[in-house]
Amino acid sequence: MSIFTRKSTAAAGHTAAPTTAVLDFDPATAAAADITGDYTVDPTHSRIGFSTRHAMVTTVRGSFGEFEGTAHLDVAEPARSSVQLKIAVASINTGQEQRDAHLRTGDFFEVEKYPEIRFTSTAVEQLDADLYSVTGDLTVKDVTRPVTVEFSLIGSSKDPFGNLRVGFEGAATINRKDWGLTYNAALETGGVLISDRIKLEFDVSAIATPAA
């Protein structure tokens, strides 16, 4: 999967030829043919992030530093799979302290009153060989609404400590107003300061729970 592409074209009169550099991850592995079982999300090697348009001209990205989750995977009957996730909202990080402090206030998440974001799956459907649709209840502040996230199974491996790991990547786009996050400001040139549409991003590494 290409994550960075850079093209440079020499200006007139220069001898440097156009170049294209592409950096790729190493191929994923598949250590286990059947990954059925119970798993715990490894927050040290996972990321729950988001991105949104700011001032109608750029994208601001952020993530949550503290979260925990569990999953049950059933390869033979994917509908029996399930996911639970809890996020500590105060751990939000967009790389700018003043903005993060504002996001914690009543204008947005009101973290002192609503310290957690929760997701509990209600349905799992296999769409393709390694593609799954996970629908669940997303609770932000005091509002619970359904969200569907498409997850790709990236691979499985045995780490140096003997743990079976599986990796998933997923994304979904939601409208923050559906969860009461309505703060905004109008721009003099038209449009608003913050987009209503938020892209949620999941890069998950989960460790299998040893059988009893």
Residue 6 within a domain:
no
Whichever domain contains 144, its CATH number is 2.40.128.110
Range of the domain at 154: 34-208
Residues with Cβ within 8 Å of residue 1, at least 6 apart in sequence: 24, 25
Q: Give the SS3 label for residue 79.
A: helix
Residue 28 belongs to a domain: no
Is residue 47 included in any domain, yes or no?
yes
Residue 20 within a domain: no
Does 2 map to a domain?
no
Which of 5, 59, 27, 57 is closest to 198 using CA atoms? Answer: 59
Cα–Cα distance for residue pair 119/146, rounded to 1 Å: 9
Q: Euclidean distance between the first and final Cα of the chain, in Å?
A: 37
Q: With residue 161 as reference, give the H or E element that holds it.
A: none
Burial 98-132 (b: 16+ CB within 10 A, else e): eeeeebbeeebbbbeeeeebebebeebeeeeeeeb
Q: What is the pLDDT of residues 190-204, one digit of tens each?
A: 777 888 999 999 999
Using alpha carbons only, what angle is made at residue 81 by residues 129 and 109, rounded to the nearest 5 degrees? Answer: 105
Count of domains in the chain?
1
Indicate whether 15 belongs to any domain: no
Predicted confidence (pLDDT) per residue in 74-105, tens digit: 999 999 999 999 999 999 999 999 999 999 99
Q: Copy the structure tokens of residue 13.
A: 């009169």
The one-character DSSP state at 186 is B
pLDDT tens digits for 108-146? 999 999 999 999 999 999 999 999 999 999 999 999 999
Burial 55-91 (b: 16+ CB within 10 A, else e): eeeeebebbbeebebebbbeeeebeebbbebbbebbb
Nearest Cα neighbor of 83 from 157, 181, 142, 166 is 166
For 11-57, write each residue's pLDDT tens digit: 444 444 444 455 577 888 887 888 999 999 999 999 999 999 887 78
Residue 16 lies in a domain: no
Residue with tokens 């990321």, as numbered in its chain: 47
The answer to the question of residue 77 being in a domain is yes
Q: What's the pTM? A: 0.84
